[in-house]
Protein backbone atom coordinates (compact mmCIF):
# COMPACT_ATOMS: atom_id res chain seq x y z
CA UNK A 1 0.00 0.00 0.00
CA UNK A 2 1.32 3.43 -0.94
CA UNK A 3 1.35 6.19 1.68
CA UNK A 4 -0.84 8.90 0.19
CA UNK A 5 -2.40 12.10 1.44
CA UNK A 6 0.32 12.83 3.93
CA UNK A 7 0.14 16.06 5.93
CA UNK A 8 3.10 18.40 5.92
CA UNK A 9 5.38 19.42 3.11
CA UNK A 10 8.81 18.62 1.75
CA UNK A 11 10.60 15.30 1.35
CA UNK A 12 10.05 12.57 3.94
CA UNK A 13 12.72 12.11 6.61
CA UNK A 14 12.22 8.36 6.30
CA UNK A 15 10.50 6.45 3.53
CA UNK A 16 9.67 2.79 2.97
CA UNK A 17 8.88 1.79 -0.64
CA UNK A 18 7.24 -1.52 -1.61
CA UNK A 19 8.87 -3.38 1.29
CA UNK A 20 8.77 -7.18 1.14
CA UNK A 21 10.26 -9.37 3.87
CA UNK A 22 10.10 -13.16 4.15
CA UNK A 23 11.37 -15.53 6.83
CA UNK A 24 12.07 -19.24 6.73
CA UNK A 25 9.63 -21.10 8.98
CA UNK A 26 11.07 -23.68 11.43
CA UNK A 27 8.87 -26.39 9.90
CA UNK A 28 9.99 -25.46 6.38
CA UNK A 29 8.74 -23.08 3.75
CA UNK A 30 8.59 -19.32 4.05
CA UNK A 31 6.43 -16.82 5.91
CA UNK A 32 5.85 -13.38 4.41
CA UNK A 33 6.03 -10.69 7.12
CA UNK A 34 5.68 -7.63 4.85
CA UNK A 35 3.71 -7.44 1.59
CA UNK A 36 4.92 -4.53 -0.59
CA UNK A 37 4.28 -2.00 2.17
CA UNK A 38 4.98 1.71 1.66
CA UNK A 39 4.90 4.53 4.20
CA UNK A 40 6.75 7.72 5.13
CA UNK A 41 7.59 9.81 8.19
CA UNK A 42 7.83 13.56 7.72
CA UNK A 43 9.74 16.15 9.71
CA UNK A 44 8.52 16.54 13.28
CA UNK A 45 6.01 13.70 13.07
CA UNK A 46 5.14 11.14 15.73
CA UNK A 47 4.07 8.07 13.75
CA UNK A 48 2.91 4.82 15.33
CA UNK A 49 2.97 1.33 13.85
CA UNK A 50 -0.07 -0.41 15.32
CA UNK A 51 -1.26 -3.99 14.97
CA UNK A 52 -1.98 -7.13 16.96
CA UNK A 53 1.07 -9.22 17.84
CA UNK A 54 2.72 -10.99 14.93
CA UNK A 55 1.47 -8.68 12.16
CA UNK A 56 4.78 -7.20 11.02
CA UNK A 57 5.26 -3.93 12.90
CA UNK A 58 8.53 -4.90 14.64
CA UNK A 59 9.81 -6.46 11.40
CA UNK A 60 9.16 -3.18 9.58
CA UNK A 61 10.94 -1.26 12.35
CA UNK A 62 13.95 -3.59 12.18
CA UNK A 63 14.16 -3.20 8.40
CA UNK A 64 14.26 0.58 8.79
CA UNK A 65 16.92 0.38 11.50
CA UNK A 66 19.09 -2.02 9.48
CA UNK A 67 18.81 -5.02 11.81
CA UNK A 68 16.96 -6.86 9.03
CA UNK A 69 17.38 -6.68 5.24
CA UNK A 70 14.43 -6.42 2.88
CA UNK A 71 13.94 -9.10 0.26
CA UNK A 72 12.74 -6.38 -2.11
CA UNK A 73 11.79 -2.74 -1.88
CA UNK A 74 13.77 0.09 -0.36
CA UNK A 75 14.29 2.19 2.76
CA UNK A 76 15.38 5.82 2.33
CA UNK A 77 16.43 8.25 5.03
CA UNK A 78 16.78 11.91 4.09
CA UNK A 79 16.43 10.78 0.49
CA UNK A 80 19.45 8.46 0.65
CA UNK A 81 18.90 4.74 -0.04
CA UNK A 82 19.84 2.55 2.92
CA UNK A 83 20.33 -0.70 0.98
CA UNK A 84 23.62 -2.20 2.16
CA UNK A 85 24.11 0.42 4.89
CA UNK A 86 24.66 -1.38 8.23
CA UNK A 87 22.62 -0.45 11.30
CA UNK A 88 25.47 1.41 13.04
CA UNK A 89 25.88 3.77 10.06
CA UNK A 90 22.22 4.70 9.64
CA UNK A 91 21.09 8.07 11.08
CA UNK A 92 18.57 6.38 13.38
CA UNK A 93 18.60 5.13 16.95
CA UNK A 94 16.39 2.51 18.58
CA UNK A 95 14.86 2.28 22.05
CA UNK A 96 14.19 -1.39 22.76
CA UNK A 97 11.45 -2.99 24.82
CA UNK A 98 14.09 -4.43 27.19
CA UNK A 99 16.01 -1.08 27.35
CA UNK A 100 19.30 -2.99 26.59
CA UNK A 101 21.31 -1.07 29.19
CA UNK A 102 24.79 -2.20 30.21
CA UNK A 103 24.30 -3.42 33.82
CA UNK A 104 27.95 -2.85 34.82
CA UNK A 105 28.03 0.78 33.65
CA UNK A 106 26.74 3.81 35.50
CA UNK A 107 23.97 5.95 34.00
CA UNK A 108 26.38 8.54 32.60
CA UNK A 109 28.49 5.84 30.93
CA UNK A 110 25.43 4.13 29.44
CA UNK A 111 24.26 7.41 27.95
CA UNK A 112 27.73 8.35 26.68
CA UNK A 113 28.43 4.97 25.06
CA UNK A 114 27.36 5.94 21.53
CA UNK A 115 29.40 9.13 21.63
CA UNK A 116 32.47 7.26 22.86
CA UNK A 117 32.20 4.67 20.07
CA UNK A 118 32.03 7.42 17.43
CA UNK A 119 35.07 9.21 18.88
CA UNK A 120 33.42 12.33 20.31
CA UNK A 121 35.96 14.16 22.56
CA UNK A 122 35.57 13.66 26.33
CA UNK A 123 34.72 17.31 27.08
CA UNK A 124 31.92 17.36 24.49
CA UNK A 125 30.66 13.98 25.75
CA UNK A 126 30.38 15.36 29.27
CA UNK A 127 28.36 18.37 28.12
CA UNK A 128 26.02 16.35 25.89
CA UNK A 129 25.43 13.68 28.54
CA UNK A 130 24.43 16.37 31.03
CA UNK A 131 22.06 17.91 28.48
CA UNK A 132 20.47 14.55 27.61
CA UNK A 133 19.95 13.61 31.27
CA UNK A 134 18.38 16.98 31.95
CA UNK A 135 16.01 16.51 29.01
CA UNK A 136 14.75 13.22 30.44
CA UNK A 137 14.70 14.39 34.06
CA UNK A 138 17.54 12.27 35.46
CA UNK A 139 19.84 14.97 36.87
CA UNK A 140 21.57 13.72 40.03
CA UNK A 141 21.38 10.03 39.07
CA UNK A 142 24.46 10.01 36.85
CA UNK A 143 26.47 7.63 39.05
CA UNK A 144 23.78 5.03 39.66
CA UNK A 145 23.80 1.66 37.90
CA UNK A 146 20.68 0.28 36.14
CA UNK A 147 19.77 -2.09 39.01
CA UNK A 148 19.58 0.96 41.32
CA UNK A 149 16.87 2.58 39.17
CA UNK A 150 13.13 2.11 38.86
CA UNK A 151 11.58 0.85 35.63
CA UNK A 152 10.61 4.37 34.61
CA UNK A 153 14.13 5.67 35.32
CA UNK A 154 15.70 2.87 33.25
CA UNK A 155 13.35 3.82 30.43
CA UNK A 156 14.59 7.42 30.63
CA UNK A 157 18.22 6.27 30.50
CA UNK A 158 17.46 4.33 27.31
CA UNK A 159 15.82 7.43 25.83
CA UNK A 160 18.75 9.67 26.79
CA UNK A 161 21.19 7.23 25.18
CA UNK A 162 19.06 7.16 22.02
CA UNK A 163 18.69 10.94 21.59
CA UNK A 164 22.25 11.92 22.46
CA UNK A 165 23.50 11.07 18.94
CA UNK A 166 20.86 13.44 17.51
CA UNK A 167 19.38 10.91 15.07
CA UNK A 168 17.18 11.89 12.14
CA UNK A 169 14.67 9.30 13.31
CA UNK A 170 14.09 7.66 16.70
CA UNK A 171 12.64 4.15 16.60
CA UNK A 172 10.80 2.91 19.70
CA UNK A 173 9.91 -0.79 19.90
CA UNK A 174 7.13 -1.10 22.52
CA UNK A 175 9.30 0.73 25.09
CA UNK A 176 6.50 1.18 27.63
CA UNK A 177 5.15 -2.37 27.76
CA UNK A 178 7.04 -3.32 30.95
CA UNK A 179 5.68 -0.37 32.97
CA UNK A 180 2.64 -0.41 35.24
CA UNK A 181 -0.51 1.41 34.08
CA UNK A 182 0.02 4.70 35.94
CA UNK A 183 3.69 5.00 35.05
CA UNK A 184 2.94 4.01 31.47
CA UNK A 185 0.38 6.79 31.15
CA UNK A 186 2.83 9.30 32.63
CA UNK A 187 5.59 8.20 30.24
CA UNK A 188 3.23 8.49 27.25
CA UNK A 189 2.78 12.19 28.01
CA UNK A 190 6.49 12.66 28.67
CA UNK A 191 7.44 10.99 25.38
CA UNK A 192 5.07 13.20 23.42
CA UNK A 193 6.42 16.33 25.16
CA UNK A 194 10.04 15.23 24.61
CA UNK A 195 9.41 14.55 20.92
CA UNK A 196 7.91 18.01 20.49
CA UNK A 197 10.85 19.66 22.28
CA UNK A 198 13.53 17.74 20.39
CA UNK A 199 11.88 18.06 16.99
CA UNK A 200 13.05 14.51 16.14
CA UNK A 201 10.77 12.19 14.15
CA UNK A 202 9.51 9.31 16.30
CA UNK A 203 8.42 5.96 14.86
CA UNK A 204 6.74 4.08 17.68
CA UNK A 205 5.62 0.43 17.78
CA UNK A 206 2.72 -0.71 19.95
CA UNK A 207 -0.23 -3.10 19.98
CA UNK A 208 -2.09 -0.83 22.43
CA UNK A 209 -4.82 1.11 20.58
CA UNK A 210 -5.33 3.65 23.37
CA UNK A 211 -1.60 4.38 23.45
CA UNK A 212 -1.54 4.91 19.68
CA UNK A 213 -4.58 7.20 19.70
CA UNK A 214 -3.16 9.26 22.58
CA UNK A 215 0.35 9.83 21.26
CA UNK A 216 0.34 9.81 17.47
CA UNK A 217 0.15 12.40 14.73
CA UNK A 218 -0.53 9.51 12.36
CA UNK A 219 -1.04 5.78 12.80
CA UNK A 220 -0.06 2.97 10.43
CA UNK A 221 -2.34 -0.05 10.96
CA UNK A 222 -0.96 -3.41 9.84
CA UNK A 223 -2.84 -6.67 9.42
CA UNK A 224 -0.81 -9.84 8.78
CA UNK A 225 1.99 -7.91 7.12
CA UNK A 226 -0.17 -5.60 5.02
CA UNK A 227 -0.79 -1.92 5.73
CA UNK A 228 -4.57 -1.53 6.01
CA UNK A 229 -4.75 2.21 6.58
CA UNK A 230 -2.58 5.23 7.36
CA UNK A 231 -4.18 8.30 8.93
CA UNK A 232 -4.62 10.54 11.94
CA UNK A 233 -6.15 9.06 15.11
CA UNK A 234 -9.37 10.93 14.30
CA UNK A 235 -9.51 9.50 10.77
CA UNK A 236 -8.95 5.94 11.95
CA UNK A 237 -11.53 6.22 14.72
CA UNK A 238 -14.30 8.01 12.82
CA UNK A 239 -13.66 6.81 9.26
CA UNK A 240 -11.88 3.44 9.23
CA UNK A 241 -11.21 2.21 5.70
CA UNK A 242 -11.77 -1.48 6.43
CA UNK A 243 -13.71 -3.66 8.83
CA UNK A 244 -10.43 -4.79 10.39
CA UNK A 245 -9.46 -1.20 11.28
CA UNK A 246 -13.00 -0.49 12.55
CA UNK A 247 -12.89 -3.50 14.84
CA UNK A 248 -9.31 -3.01 16.00
CA UNK A 249 -9.44 0.73 16.77
CA UNK A 250 -11.67 1.66 19.70
CA UNK A 251 -14.94 0.08 20.82
CA UNK A 252 -17.88 -0.40 18.52
CA UNK A 253 -20.34 -2.84 16.97
CA UNK A 254 -20.13 -3.89 13.31
CA UNK A 255 -23.12 -4.92 11.22
CA UNK A 256 -22.68 -6.27 7.68
CA UNK A 257 -25.54 -6.44 5.23
CA UNK A 258 -27.06 -5.16 2.00
CA UNK A 259 -28.35 -1.63 1.46
CA UNK A 260 -32.08 -1.35 0.88
CA UNK A 261 -33.15 1.89 -0.81
CA UNK A 262 -36.41 3.80 -0.82
CA UNK A 263 -37.79 6.58 1.36
CA UNK A 264 -36.52 4.84 4.51
CA UNK A 265 -33.06 3.48 3.54
CA UNK A 266 -31.63 0.74 5.70
CA UNK A 267 -28.86 -1.78 6.00
CA UNK A 268 -30.41 -5.25 6.23
CA UNK A 269 -28.16 -7.89 7.77
CA UNK A 270 -28.19 -11.51 6.67
CA UNK A 271 -30.16 -12.48 9.79
CA UNK A 272 -32.81 -9.85 9.14
CA UNK A 273 -31.78 -7.01 11.43
CA UNK A 274 -32.78 -3.68 9.87
CA UNK A 275 -30.64 -0.61 10.64
CA UNK A 276 -31.63 2.84 9.42
CA UNK A 277 -28.88 4.61 7.45
CA UNK A 278 -28.37 7.99 5.83
CA UNK A 279 -29.83 8.78 2.43
CA UNK A 280 -27.78 8.63 -0.75
CA UNK A 281 -26.17 5.19 -0.33
CA UNK A 282 -26.77 3.16 -3.53
CA UNK A 283 -29.18 0.25 -3.06
CA UNK A 284 -27.74 -3.24 -3.38
CA UNK A 285 -24.30 -2.35 -2.00
CA UNK A 286 -22.73 -4.71 0.47
CA UNK A 287 -21.74 -2.52 3.44
CA UNK A 288 -20.63 -2.71 7.06
CA UNK A 289 -22.00 -0.20 9.58
CA UNK A 290 -19.90 0.89 12.55
CA UNK A 291 -21.79 2.03 15.65
CA UNK A 292 -19.61 3.55 18.37
CA UNK A 293 -20.85 3.42 22.01
CA UNK A 294 -21.11 7.21 22.23
CA UNK A 295 -23.38 7.32 19.14
CA UNK A 296 -26.08 5.37 20.99
CA UNK A 297 -28.49 6.77 23.55
CA UNK A 298 -31.99 6.30 24.85
CA UNK A 299 -34.72 6.64 22.20
CA UNK A 300 -36.60 9.96 22.19
CA UNK A 301 -40.16 9.83 23.53
CA UNK A 302 -41.65 11.02 20.23
CA UNK A 303 -40.94 9.29 16.90
CA UNK A 304 -38.27 11.12 14.91
CA UNK A 305 -37.22 10.05 11.38
CA UNK A 306 -33.71 11.41 12.02
CA UNK A 307 -33.06 8.48 14.37
CA UNK A 308 -32.61 4.76 13.91
CA UNK A 309 -34.01 2.56 16.68
CA UNK A 310 -32.68 -0.73 18.05
CA UNK A 311 -34.56 -2.99 20.42
CA UNK A 312 -32.22 -4.45 23.03
CA UNK A 313 -32.02 -5.98 26.48
CA UNK A 314 -29.62 -4.77 29.16
CA UNK A 315 -27.11 -7.38 30.30
CA UNK A 316 -24.67 -5.36 32.39
CA UNK A 317 -24.08 -1.79 33.55
CA UNK A 318 -20.42 -0.91 34.23
CA UNK A 319 -19.44 2.22 36.17
CA UNK A 320 -16.22 3.97 34.98
CA UNK A 321 -16.35 7.09 37.12
CA UNK A 322 -17.00 9.85 34.63
CA UNK A 323 -19.01 7.54 32.38
CA UNK A 324 -21.10 4.41 32.54
CA UNK A 325 -21.14 1.73 29.85
CA UNK A 326 -24.13 -0.50 29.20
CA UNK A 327 -23.63 -3.91 27.63
CA UNK A 328 -26.80 -4.81 25.73
CA UNK A 329 -28.00 -7.72 23.60
CA UNK A 330 -29.96 -7.20 20.39
CA UNK A 331 -32.75 -9.45 19.16
CA UNK A 332 -30.40 -11.22 16.73
CA UNK A 333 -28.01 -12.06 19.58
CA UNK A 334 -25.40 -9.42 18.76
CA UNK A 335 -23.81 -7.59 21.70
CA UNK A 336 -23.64 -3.80 21.64
CA UNK A 337 -22.08 -1.31 24.06
CA UNK A 338 -23.70 2.03 24.89
CA UNK A 339 -22.22 5.11 26.56
CA UNK A 340 -25.30 7.23 27.39
CA UNK A 341 -24.96 11.01 27.41
CA UNK A 342 -26.26 13.18 30.29
CA UNK A 343 -29.89 14.22 29.83
CA UNK A 344 -33.34 12.76 29.91
CA UNK A 345 -32.77 10.04 27.28
CA UNK A 346 -29.46 8.94 28.76
CA UNK A 347 -30.76 9.10 32.34
CA UNK A 348 -33.45 6.55 31.49
CA UNK A 349 -30.73 4.14 30.44
CA UNK A 350 -28.68 4.84 33.58
CA UNK A 351 -31.63 3.77 35.73
CA UNK A 352 -32.25 0.54 33.83
CA UNK A 353 -31.73 -2.80 35.55
CA UNK A 354 -30.12 -5.92 34.01
CA UNK A 355 -32.71 -7.87 32.05
CA UNK A 356 -34.77 -4.77 31.23
CA UNK A 357 -35.87 -4.15 27.64
CA UNK A 358 -34.40 -0.95 26.14
CA UNK A 359 -34.96 1.13 23.04
CA UNK A 360 -31.64 2.49 21.78
CA UNK A 361 -31.37 5.34 19.30
CA UNK A 362 -28.69 6.75 17.03
CA UNK A 363 -28.75 9.57 14.51
CA UNK A 364 -28.99 7.79 11.19
CA UNK A 365 -26.54 10.20 9.55
CA UNK A 366 -23.72 9.46 12.05
CA UNK A 367 -22.65 5.80 11.71
CA UNK A 368 -19.72 5.21 9.38
CA UNK A 369 -20.33 2.84 6.44
CA UNK A 370 -17.58 0.68 4.93
CA UNK A 371 -18.08 -0.87 1.52
CA UNK A 372 -17.28 -4.58 1.47
CA UNK A 373 -15.34 -5.58 -1.65
CA UNK A 374 -16.38 -8.96 -2.98
CA UNK A 375 -13.76 -11.45 -4.15
CA UNK A 376 -12.60 -10.37 -7.55
CA UNK A 377 -14.22 -6.93 -7.06
d(CA 116, CA 360): 64
- Within-domain flag for 75: yes
pLDDT of residue 144: 94
Q: Same domain for 240 and 256? A: no
pLDDT of residue 34: 95
pLDDT of residue 360: 94
Q: Same domain for 305 and 229? A: no
- Within-domain flag for 5: no
- Within-domain flag for 180: yes
pLDDT of residue 3: 46
Domain finish residue from 220, 244, 268: 244
pLDDT of residue 79: 92
Q: Same domain for 102 and 224? A: yes
Q: Same domain for 210 and 152? A: yes
Q: Same domain for 29 and 175? A: yes
Radius of gyration in angstroms for the set of CA atoms belonging to the chain, rounded to a whole number:
25
- Within-domain flag for 301: yes
SS3 content of the chain, % helix, strand, coil (to 5): 25, 30, 40
Q: Same domain for 92 and 222? A: yes
Kindly report the CATH number assigned to the domain that includes residue 81: 3.40.50.300
Q: Same domain for 37 and 175? A: yes
Q: Same domain for 264 and 360? A: yes
Structurally, the chain folds into a number of domains equal to 2
Q: Same domain for 218 and 81? A: yes
pLDDT of residue 232: 96
Q: What 8-state DSSP symbol labels residue 374?
A: P
- Within-domain flag for 175: yes
Q: Same domain for 220 and 304? A: no
Kindly report the CATH number assigned to the domain that includes residue 261: 2.40.50.140
Domain finish residue from 199, 215, 244: 244
Nearest to 362 by CA among 307, 294, 293, 302: 307
d(CA 49, CA 222): 7
pLDDT of residue 116: 86
Query: Residue 293's domain spans which residues?
Result: 252-371
Q: Same domain for 170 and 276? A: no
- Within-domain flag for 172: yes
- In the chain, beta strands by DSSP E: 14-24, 30-41, 46-50, 72-77, 80-81, 92-95, 169-173, 201-206, 218-223, 226-231, 253-260, 266-269, 274-276, 286-291, 297-298, 307-319, 324-330, 335-338, 357-363, 368-371
* Cβ(297)–Cβ(238) below 8 Å: no
From first to last of its 377 residues, the chain has per-residue pLDDT tens of 444 344 444 579 999 999 999 998 888 889 999 999 999 999 999 999 999 988 899 999 999 999 999 999 999 999 999 999 999 899 999 888 777 889 999 999 999 988 888 888 999 999 999 999 988 888 889 999 999 998 888 888 988 988 888 888 999 988 877 777 777 887 888 888 888 888 889 999 998 898 899 899 999 999 999 999 999 999 999 999 999 999 999 899 999 999 999 889 999 999 889 999 999 999 999 999 999 999 999 888 788 899 999 999 999 988 887 778 899 999 888 999 999 887 656 677 888 899 999 999 999 999 999 998 765 44
Nearest to 194 by CA among 43, 46, 22: 46
Domain finish residue from 226, 244, 262: 244
- Within-domain flag for 40: yes
pLDDT of residue 324: 83
Q: Same domain for 43 and 113? A: yes
Query: Assign residue 54 a region: left if phi > 0, alpha if psi is -120 to 50, beta otherwise?
Result: left
- Within-domain flag for 4: no
Amino acid sequence: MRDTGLPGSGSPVAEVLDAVKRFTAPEGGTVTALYQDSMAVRAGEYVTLLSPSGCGKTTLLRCISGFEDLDSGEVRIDGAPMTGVPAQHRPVNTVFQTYALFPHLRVEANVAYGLEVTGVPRRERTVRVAQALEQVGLQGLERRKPDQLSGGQRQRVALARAIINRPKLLLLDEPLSALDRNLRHSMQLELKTLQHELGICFLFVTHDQEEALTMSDRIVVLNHGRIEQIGSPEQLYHAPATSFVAEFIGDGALFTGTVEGGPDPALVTDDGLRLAIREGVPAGRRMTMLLRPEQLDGAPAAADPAFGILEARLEQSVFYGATRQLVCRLANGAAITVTPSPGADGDRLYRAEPGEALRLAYRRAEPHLIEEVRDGG
